[in-house]
Amino acid sequence: MIYLPDTNAVSNFLRGNNPALTARMHEEFPCLRLSALVVAEREFGILHHRSGLKYRRAFKALVSSVPIEVFSREDASHYAGLRSFLEKRGQGIDPIDTLIAAQALRLGATVVTHNVKEFSRVPGLHVEDWQSP
């Protein structure tokens, strides 16, 4: 099993403000992968919001201990088809979330998110919310 947390799940984990999420992330740690897209989003957030030292250290520790999945050519192809499919049905989702969903589909991964409603629009995508007890 591979778990691919979205940007908000990673951010909430790093803040340590959700006991249910923190416990599950530690429990499933060997199965976690980080999307390079999520890493990029968090890098931007750290620069843009001038995150505190504790948050920056937690982020550095996370990215040094969890495998990072690059966004591949195959992911790009999945993304194009997925975005087209969703938009034709008037069910488009956030572009970064669409990219993460495409990557998760290629990996056969489960997306970890609190935004289940949006990710559930993606056919065949496994989604779990670890932030709700």
Third-level CATH fold of 3-128: Rossmann fold (3.40.50)
Q: Which tens digit of pLDDT belongs to each residue from 14-39?
A: 999 899 999 999 999 999 999 999 99
Q: Which tens digit of pLDDT belongs to each residue from 55-67?
A: 889 999 999 999 9
DSSP bridge pairs for 110:
3, 126
How many angstroms separate the CA atoms of 119 and 125, rounded? 8
Domain residue extents for the chain = 3-128
DSSP alpha helices (H): ranges in the chain?
A: 7-15, 19-27, 36-49, 53-65, 73-88, 95-107, 116-119
